[in-house]
Structure 1
Amino acid sequence: MQPIDPSDFRLTVAPMMDWTDRHCRYFHRLLSPHARLYTEMVTSAALVRGQQLRLLEHSQQEHPVALQLGGSDARELATAARYGADAGYDEINLNVGCPSDRVQSGRFGACLMYEPALVGDCVKAMRDAVDVPVTVKCRIGVDDQDDYADLQHFTETMLGAGVEVLVVHARKAWLKGLSPKENREIPPLDYQRVYRLKREFPQLTVVINGGISTVEEVQAQLGHVDGVMLGRAAYHDPYLLAQVEAALYGEPLPERAHMLQRMRPYIEAELARGAALKHISRHLLGLYQGQPGARGFRRTLSEGAHLPGAGWGLVEQALAPQRVAA
């Protein structure tokens, strides 16, 4: 098993269904050379029973990049983890945080916080199968798990299974009655519970997730935990990644237009492979968030990217007013 360096987890970008596909991750890597990136959740069943190994496709430029798996069958997860490691992923992460009904019906995601022993068995099987780190992403609790003792017991079980990195979304998940969107907003954040976890388990690399949306908030969180995982904020305002990169690692802050131009070789290569521009450009829409002309930039890409023959010229068209504004 490769040794864990907590500094590798200082800045990470959350796995987000329908968002953090390979095109998104390539763009995020340009914005942040140091961030650890995560795939959308891939079910172990899709890889093992469905043999949908195309879901593991990624670019070498994405590294370090982790594969997030969903499942609860230890043997199947071990096989899926092996597929991921063989495909070159730097980490395998187990989803114990997603609250959606579809995920619950498959007996994975946040409902597994009720079954820490099962999660431990799954983690151990995965660790025995691969040499890359196996990590867990969880919530601070689910439903009526209001006591810190529940999270404490879950963490102790993870440590016993060999987990060295725990990513904690600092909200409880309600498994019934709230949509996944509401589960990201309604249950109150409890950062203090995650801080306590780090204090009581100093040997554990703890990464905090949930509601963090500015450079200043990232820096403040790093005074309490080992790493920060950015989610929706990094997607809707991807330039935030470049700003955090500059603050944490001293990288020069690039111009937005320069970042977009650096996407050109990738976009043109993907279009030549048969990809549609709309599948790539949707991840670029927030680049000018909060800037003059942002609405026009989004509109040009949104309205034109789905048209037949849409290519790099459309991106240049969207970018032209931004150059004038700059």
Structure 2
Amino acid sequence: MRFTHFFAACLAGLFHLVTANAVAADNYPSRPVTVQVAFSAGGATDRQFRVLAGLAAKHLGQNIIVENKPGAAGTLAASTLALSGRPDGYTLAQAPVGVFRVPHMQKVNWDPVRDFSYIIGMSGYVLGVAVRADSPFKTWEDVVRHARANPGSVSYASTGIGGTLHLAMTDIEKQTGVRFNHIPYKGAADSSRALLAGEVMLQADAVSGFAGLANAGKTRILMVWEPTRYAGLPDVPTARELGLNIVYQSPFGLVGPKGMPAEIVSKIHDAFKKALEDPEHVQLLGQIHQTLWYRSPADYAAYAKSAFLEERKLMEQAGLISKD
């Protein structure tokens, strides 16, 4: 008899929980939504999210507040959400590709596959290599030729050890048989300054980091790591065209804590998809040198699983797997 009462109480509790979640989903959003951006205010990504927030808010029916939360190699916003976020749809975060990489480099208490609700894939950074305008390296072939004749003499700047830029250059070293001198900097601004000051010979970065300098005649872009030529730089060859079997992109999207109701995920997805496709945002992508990388919730979740495995392979290749 006691068991019967206990079982009935459990069913009643479960029914109440399901009903409460359904009501919350029906009423969502009833207050402003906060989106935490993984990078500092004033940069291209911050600018993009503020435009998207304004556009998506029109379709969501509530204001969307952009909050900058840089740190932990771009994973602070997402990891904080994974550890302490409520799955009610009112706090979301940008998830750069680093969320699939950092857990292989150091011990973390969150899992990028299990601890997020994947909402929408958004866009990606176009990456490549540039030299100073007065560099003797006119083409990528010039770089490789010099590096082979003078091992370790060609230095390059990136924005950090274990980042996509570092991994791509490590892959290039493996494929070409040359050895570069990697000098990491804190960010794109420092990396560009180092190139212009002659501290390094190459700069591996997002195109948005050196396109302005290239337009001003101060740098020259030797290649991009896209699968096909980037429309914003039609005269710049891809790595594949130069004989390298690589494509390196750095996409990101929007996530929430695990366990978000599907109805809420769908509402957020639909609002941001319309924002992504809005002409104002499409025009901005060209200005900040990004490409559209739309993924549905299901496709984004599937990508997360494959990206997590692929990042481990890249970490192993670079010798950066954590021993913990």
Question: Fold-level match, TM-score > 0.5?
Answer: no
**1 or 2, which has the higher strand percentage?**
2
**TM-score, length-scaled by structure 2:** 0.26
Larger Rg: 2
**TM-score, length-scaled by structure 1:** 0.26
